[in-house]
Amino acid sequence: MIEKNLNQIFQARIDSEEKIEARDWMPEKYRQTLIRQISQHAHSEVVGMLPEGNWITRAPSLRRKVALLAKVQDEAGHGLYLYSAAETLGAKRSDLIQQLLDGTAKYSSIFNYPTLSWADIGAIGWLVDGAAIMNQVMLCRTSYGPYARAMVRICKEESFHQRQGYEIMIALSKGSEEQKAMAQDALNRWWWPSLMMFGPNDAESKHTAQSMAWKIKRKTNDELRQAFVDATVPQAEYLGLTIPDADLKWNEERGHYDFGPIDWDEFWQVVKGYGQCNKERIAARRKAEEEGEWVREAALAYAEKQRIKKENQKTKVA
């Protein structure tokens, strides 16, 4: 009975657009859904550094190197804000990271594709960060306060990432024939995985209905995917590149672009761990975790030393 009333009060707060804060009562499922979503998001930011980090030493100029370095560093920061947001829900960061390393937690399937040429760095910024922005702008208004506030800052940085990538694509597509071919090849390989980033179609998405009711999500996977296609097609046209989809066509009646079917078998293969780079990505994270152990230990020991120092000062004053 009490639980039922609490649930009703909670839903009424959501319906009236109040933000839910860390110490407020919330249904256990709301808490668990958020921990799952926010930690997957954090893992995606951190694993997302790997395909691009691969090109920092090979960026074609100092300016490109500085921009890419800044971008990859931003992604580390996003991961940290998000782990902190998950901690406000009572999750332990070390448990969340362990789930990533064990392979029991997911991260965005897009980061299991390899970055084969410099043009891939352009395509990732343009398409992958572009798709992330669609999702994250919506999350600035998510019902859980700490998650929403983390997203506001993250979105500002994501728009720099998107422009950084698009600028690379402009340079390549206006360059030599060879450079234009590189840009086209990168678009060919990254287009469909980018559309998959929004997740399964609404009819197949098991979490969507509840997440919409709780206003964790405010748009469905298909709505976000459509918005991304509509925004991106004119950008490809400006570059003079061809999106690899024979069915892509403006639909006057709908006021949207129609696009061809997504290869969901490929998506599920990658999600289940059989993508081209799944093993490599997890191995890299495990190595980082092991090699960082002494840093974590040193930081904890230093914090403990500071605590004791403070304590001693207090007793002296008293």
Which residues are near Fe ion by CB under 5 A?
Answer: 45, 75, 78, 129, 158, 161
Q: Choose between 14 and 85: whose C-beta lies nearer to Fe ion.
A: 85
In the complex, the smallest distance separating the C-beta of residue 152 from Fe ion, rounded to whole angstroms, is 13
Taken in order 104, 190, 227, 264, the sign of the CA dihedral is: negative
Beta-bridge partners for 258: 249
Q: Choose between 150 and 195: whose C-beta lies nearer to Fe ion.
A: 150
The whole-angstrom separation of Cα 111 and Cα 19 is 32
CB 54 within 8 A of CB 13: no
Q: Tell me whether residue 269 is exposed, middle or buried, using C-beta atoms within 10 angstroms of its C-beta: 0 to 12, 13 to 18, 19 or more.
A: middle
Contacts 24+ apart (CB under 8 A), 176-180: 179/119, 180/240, 180/241
Distances (CA, A) of 119 to 51, 132, 166: 12, 19, 10
Q: What region does 261 belong to: left with phi over 0, alpha with psi -120 to 50, or beta?
A: beta
Phi, psi of 208 (to 5 degrees): -60, -50
In the complex, the smallest distance separating the C-beta of residue 159 from Fe ion, rounded to whole angstroms, is 9
**Residue found under tokens 């990432």:** 161
Q: Choose between 26 and 96: whose C-beta lies nearer to Fe ion.
A: 96
In the complex, the smallest distance separating the C-beta of residue 45 from Fe ion, rounded to whole angstroms, is 5
In the complex, the smallest distance separating the C-beta of residue 30 from Fe ion, rounded to whole angstroms, is 24
In the complex, the smallest distance separating the C-beta of residue 233 from Fe ion, rounded to whole angstroms, is 21
**Residue found under tokens 């998107």:** 162
Q: Choose between 20 and 196: whose C-beta lies nearer to Fe ion.
A: 196
Q: How many residues does this entry show for the chain?
A: 318
In the complex, the smallest distance separating the C-beta of residue 31 from Fe ion, rounded to whole angstroms, is 24
Beta-bridge partners for 249: 258
In the complex, the smallest distance separating the C-beta of residue 134 from Fe ion, rounded to whole angstroms, is 12
In the complex, the smallest distance separating the C-beta of residue 160 from Fe ion, rounded to whole angstroms, is 8
